Amino acid sequence: MSPTRVIDRVSQGLAGIAAAVLLVMLVVTVGNVVLRLVATPYYGTVEVVTFLAVAVNGLALAEAQRTRSHIAIDLFMNKAPARIQLVVGAVITLVSAALFILLAQQLVSYGLNLKDQGALSDSLRLPYWPFSLILAVGIAGLALALISDLLSIGRNLRSDMPESIW
């Protein structure tokens, strides 16, 4: 199996987990609203939904990159020749991948530091560190997706008829 397909599967898997967490987030929120109408709402709902939002957003990053569901500003680049677009895209993608790899590494360090300190949330006394590590996994998935894009750009650059990436 090619590295690109493996990365696609990883990003789809992370997006599937993000979808499941989003569903849990929905159930907690709707449950809290319903309970507010008939009884006492859950204690710490905002805290739980905030932690779950970190997981959803972090784990969905790789799939957003793979499906190009993010914002790209191509005001100048769409007028440039395809090879120039590919070279600029390769540089930007390489720098982005390097930055996200460093960010994932720092999130792991931060999460382990939070674990060592025993840092807990205010209301429910939940540990912060697992969410830092979940976010690190999502950021690492994004870095993998960027590396996959870099491989695609490299194949496209070697082609006789390079295609625009913008």
Mean pLDDT of 5-16: 96
Of 11-20, 40-49, 141-150, the least confident: 40-49
* Rounded (5°) CA angle 132-136-142: 145
Higher pLDDT, 141 or 75: 141
Indicate the DSSP class of residue 120: B
Please tell me the distance from the alpha carbon of residue 10 to that of residue 153, in angstroms, as a whole number: 20
Mean pLDDT of 71-83: 80
Higher pLDDT, 68 or 10: 10
Token digits for 32?
């809290």
Tell me if residue 127 falls in helix, strand or coil.
Answer: strand
Q: What is the pTM of this model?
A: 0.91
Mean pLDDT of 35-51: 92
Q: Where are the domains of the chain?
A: 3-158
Return the pLDDT at 56.
98
Please tell me the distance from the alpha carbon of residue 29 to that of residue 13, in angstroms, as a whole number: 24
Is residue 14 within 8 A of residue 60, CB to CB? The reply is yes
| pLDDT tens per residue, range 91-121 | 999 999 999 999 999 999 999 999 999 999 9
Quick one: CA dihedral 124, 128, 132, 133, positive or negative?
Answer: negative
Of 49-58, 109-118, 133-142, 154-163, the least confident: 154-163
User: DSSP of 63-85, one letter per residue?
Assistant: HHHHTT-S----TTGGGS-HHHH
Higher pLDDT, 166 or 27: 27
Alpha helix ranges (H) inside the chain = 3-38, 45-59, 61-66, 82-117, 129-158
Return the pLDDT at 136.
98
Please tell me the distance from the alpha carbon of residue 85 to that of residue 41, in angstroms, as a whole number: 53
Return the pLDDT at 166.
61
